[in-house]
Structure 1
Amino acid sequence: MEDKQSIVNNWLPRYTGTAVEDFGKYILLTNFDNYVEKFASVMGVEVRGRDKAMRNATCDDISMINFGMGSANAATIMDLLSAVKPRGVLFLGKCGGLKRKNELGDLILPIAAIRGEGTSADYFPPEVPSLPAFTLQRAVSSTVRDHDKDYWTGTVYTTNRRVWEHDRAFKKYLRRTRCMAIDMETATIFTVGFANSIPAGALLLVSDQPMVPDGVKTDASDRVITEQYVDSQIAIGIDSLKEIANEGRSVKHLRFD
């Protein structure tokens, strides 16, 4: 296998347990197996790849894949998805809210991401911005309102650091960036999607408030967020991709190439 296409055609099934042709052209990405289980239950389909690195499920032309945690895994799945050539990829992730106005359970629709993770430097020089596909984010915005929800918009800081909540200097730096949220994948997904000509977007759920000691995520607090808000986030993700696939009102006057 000397060319990229041969590699991704072989590796996507190896990582997921699903043949390339069995994936939909519209992809929901997640970090959590329970998202995939919920998606499969709602859509009435089976979960595939339980014994593989990336559990997944597909209904009609929409697939959900759990690619794991962190920017390296995010880059891997965006490279592997070039085998599918999806028409849209939407990341349904969790994030830490960095603003006092953020509340647990809030939705954030990123307009950009800061490439603090380093992985994306393997794809583009640092001056290239990390941006989502406008048409995809427009569809998500419309769908959130259709679900009688609201959202914040702003910039997300993406980092490779998993444990930083104790680091006062880093937290001071984050305040200077004026970012709305922090996570470990969004900038990578946007950048590697751009490198692979894959339209990518994100809808993030505020699961913790890491700038204050009492707001740092715990197993118990994350369980509450999952129980109260994840079903709605998944439903919005599904309907957003259906909006694009059906060329709904949010995209009818735009090309989505």
Structure 2
Amino acid sequence: MTAEKNKMMHIACGEGDVGEYVFLPGAPERTIQIAKYFDSYEKIAQNREHTTYTGYLDGVKVSVTSTGMGGPSTAICMEELTKLGAHTFIRVGTCASTSKKVGIGDVVIPNGAVKMEGTSSHYIPMEYPAVPDYFLLKKLEEAAIKLGYKYNIGVTITKDSFFTQTEPETKPVGYELVNKWNAYEKSGATSTSMEDAPIFSIAPTLNSRGASVMLSATNYNKFANQDRTSLAEYETRAIEVAVEAMRQIIKADHSNK
């Protein structure tokens, strides 16, 4: 399970390198953006798609580790972080809107995920729902309210392939994909991304907690955003909500000890 010098094979971190509370962005470049909100931080490791910074929030050790895109690398990341003592995970990322309820720049806090992917089936039965830890979800909502950001709580769709969403009609099974997307939207799903269902499914099997906060990078039925400067400004909203929520989660955890 580990590589040389007792480092984890994929995230390249070892004992004592990470905190019990971890932020999980998909993109490696987002790790430093999150770490800058810590009271102090240092870069711990960078291997493959996994970059890790560790620091402190209100005197408690916390970490941020990038998962890369999709379920398989997210699962590996969570497994190895858990082996090093982590037990609380908040995904911080972007998503696309699948509802008129969500517009570009909105904060999205999923209360469940459609398992349109394969990784979660390696952990839990298909009929078992992928839902975040309720306590973490509530703290994320409280943080969004405190910071004054427009937010949506709803079901998100986790997929394995980006282009089978944006160009389903070009695929051999396009007829099936189009019908599924229509069904999910008509059922009330408000967003889509690629990591939430695995996080929600895997965390409880590891005796851990997982939740997610995202920033909508699109308006409904718009799959491309050309104004990258504005999007970068919006992304800080999800980060700020995640950090504020984590502060309150840590405070609550430690007050109960």
Q: Same fold, TM exceeding 0.5?
A: yes
Gaps of 5+ in 1: 1-6
Q: Tell me the distance in 2 between the aligned counterparts of 1:145 and 1:239.
A: 11
State the AA in 2 paired with 1:53.
Answer: E
Q: 2:9 aligns with which of 7, 14, 35?
A: 14
1:8·1:83 contact (CA, 8 Å) conserved in 2?
A: no
| Equivalent residue in structure 1 for 2:215, among 197, 205, 217 | 205
CA distance in 1, matches of 2:3, 2:139: 29
Listed as ranges, the matches of 1:1-257 within 5 Å are 7=1, 13-43=8-38, 44-60=40-56, 61-163=61-163, 164-167=165-168, 169=178, 170-209=180-219, 212=221, 215-218=222-225, 220-226=226-232, 228-247=233-252
CA deviation vs aligned residue, 1:116-154 (integer Å, no higher than 9, x gap): 112111111111110110111111111111112231111
Q: TM-score, normalised by structure 2?
A: 0.84
Q: Aligned partner of 2:238: which letter?
A: Q
Secondary structure (helix, strand or coil) at the match of 1:48 reads strand
Pairs aligned (count): 241
Give distance in 2, aligned partners of 1:156 and 1:245. 26
Does the CA-based 8 Å contact 1:71-1:185 persist in structure 2?
yes
Could you tell me how far 1:8 is from its partner in structure 2? 6.2
Deviation at 1:195, TM superposition (A): 1.4
Q: Which runs of 5+ in 2 are unaligned?
A: 170-177
User: Is the 1:93–1:205 Cα contact (8 Å) retained in structure 2?
Assistant: yes
Seen in structure 2, the aligned counterparts of structure 1 residues 58 and 182 have a Cα distance that, compared at 3 Å, is same
Distance 1:234 1:71, change over 3 A: same
Report the Cα offset of residue 54 of structure 1. 0.7
Q: Distance in 2 between matches of 1:52 and 1:17?
A: 9
Same amino acid, percent of matched pairs = 18
| 2:234 counterpart SS class | helix
Q: CA deviation at 1:75?
A: 1.5
Query: Aligned partners of 2:237, 2:249: CA distance in 1, in Å?
Result: 19
Amino acid at match of 1:176: K
In the TM superposition, residue 177 of structure 1 has moved relative to its aligned partner by 3.2
Once the two structures are TM-superposed, the CA of residue 34 in structure 1 deviates from its matched residue by 2.5
Q: Aligned Cα RMSD in Å?
A: 2.4
Shift in Å, 1:204? 1.3
Given the superposition, is the C-alpha separation of residues 8 and 234 from structure 1 closer, same or farther in structure 2, using an over 3 Å criterion?
A: farther
Q: TM-score, normalised by structure 1?
A: 0.84
Amino acid at match of 2:187: T
Q: Is the 8 A contact 2:94 2:214 kept in 1?
A: yes
CA displacement 1:4-39 (0-9 Å, x = unmatched): xxx269886332333231211111000112321112
- Check whether the contact 2:96–2:216 (CA below 8 A) recurs between aligned residues: yes
State how far apart, in whole Å, the 1-side matches of 2:3 and 2:86 are. Answer: 14
Say if 2:20 and 2:88, in contact at 8 Å, map to a contact too. Answer: yes
Q: Give 1:47 shift.
A: 2.4
